[in-house]
A and B are shown apart, each in its own frame.
Chain A
């Protein structure tokens, strides 16, 4: 009788023991999961781009009218920032056309938004040239140029980059980051999208940004 209750441990008992052990470990993990604080909720000022566009308030640039301004002077309105150049065959004109189309589609929701196109080819992109380039897009599109050193500070602060590539006949083209940065009125980057972002997604991201 004693033998039946306290039977000797047999090798066939191992699976049972393993299941019991795993269950115990699982139970402990479940307890840990529910008792540990959830990850901090990402707020509008604590986002993954919070380190972008820092320390550039004093960056001096020239707008399409030839007026000098500081980067911080542009705060106060929601803005879409893009780095490009006017001798760009595709990315830049497509992005400008896309942003213009998305803004039109948003209508009144996009009333205040401005677009800042910062040239990474300031030697060729004069303010007059930028003024002509954006003349058909309305006053919300702003072309910005300036000294290479100042532009470089801005580019680096956005974790963007560009490089000059020699082409035929002593000419050069510019490889550059093809990202649109969504900058809130406080000058903080809150969202981004890349070249080729589907149109509907761009509209949805802009709607969320502007609401």
Chain B
């Protein structure tokens, strides 16, 4: 193995380690009593003007916490929404806040609660990240990088 190959392997190892490290950081993040897990956004179709983000919020503290709003430079407006499907009918409505009970967790996931991005500035492309400021009642503002993922799981 010559020197350039050794350098190549070393660089690849560092890149790999950085990638693994980065994905772990994205998978879980702690801010005070709030643990933020698996923050992701569904990739959008060309020309789409809206998107939806999902995340699991864990409250390790002794008192109830509330996610009161979210903001992002990637969209004109960001709102907290809840979707329901009853008898084949999809309904959506904004929610004022999302409660995270002490010692409990709430999951924003397809088919239920989500962070709604309105008038996005550019399509959400698979593999990219979207910076979001999540505002909590007690914890205040927390910066979270949402990973853009395919919607069909492929």
Asked if B91 is an interface residue, CB under 8 A from chain A, the answer is yes
With A101-B154, A177-B89 known as contacts, the answer to whether A87 contacts B77 (CB < 8 A) is no
With A90-B110, A195-B85 known as contacts, the answer to whether A178 contacts B90 (CB < 8 A) is yes
Task: Count CB-based A-B contacts (< 8 Å).
Answer: 95
**Is B151 a contact of A168 with CB atoms below 8 Å?**
no
**Is B77 a contact of A168 with CB atoms below 8 Å?**
yes
Residue of A nearest to B79 (CB): A168
Chain A nearest CB: distance from B93 CB in Å? 7
**Is A94 a contact of B45 with CB atoms below 8 Å?**
no
**Is B114 a contact of A90 with CB atoms below 8 Å?**
yes
**Chain B residues within 8 Å of A133, by CB:** 45-48
**Chain A residues within 8 Å of B110, by CB:** 90, 94
**Is A135 a contact of B152 with CB atoms below 8 Å?**
no
Once the chains are docked, how many angstroms separate the CA of A52 from the CA of B48? 30
B65-102 residues at the A interface, CB under 8 angstroms: 77, 79, 81, 83, 85, 88-94
With A89-B52, A91-B90, A93-B42 known as contacts, the answer to whether A129 contacts B85 (CB < 8 A) is no
**Is A86 a contact of B47 with CB atoms below 8 Å?**
yes
Once the chains are docked, how many angstroms separate the CA of A87 from the CA of B154? 23
**Chain B residues within 8 Å of A100, by CB:** 152
Asked if A134 is an interface residue, CB under 8 A from chain B, the answer is yes
Query: Which A positions have Cβ atoms within 8 angstroms of B?
Result: 86-91, 93-94, 96-98, 100-101, 129, 132-137, 161, 165, 167-169, 171, 173, 175-179, 194-196, 199
Given A96-B45, A136-B45, A178-B85, 15 other A-B contacts at CB below 8 A? A86-B48, A89-B117, A90-B83, A91-B85, A93-B44, A94-B110, A101-B152, A133-B47, A134-B45, A137-B45, A167-B79, A178-B90, A194-B88, A195-B88, A199-B152
- 19 pairs, A vs B, C-beta closer than 8 Å: A86-B48, A87-B49, A88-B50, A89-B52, A89-B92, A90-B42, A91-B90, A93-B45, A94-B152, A97-B151, A97-B152, A101-B154, A132-B46, A135-B47, A161-B89, A175-B89, A175-B91, A178-B89, A196-B111
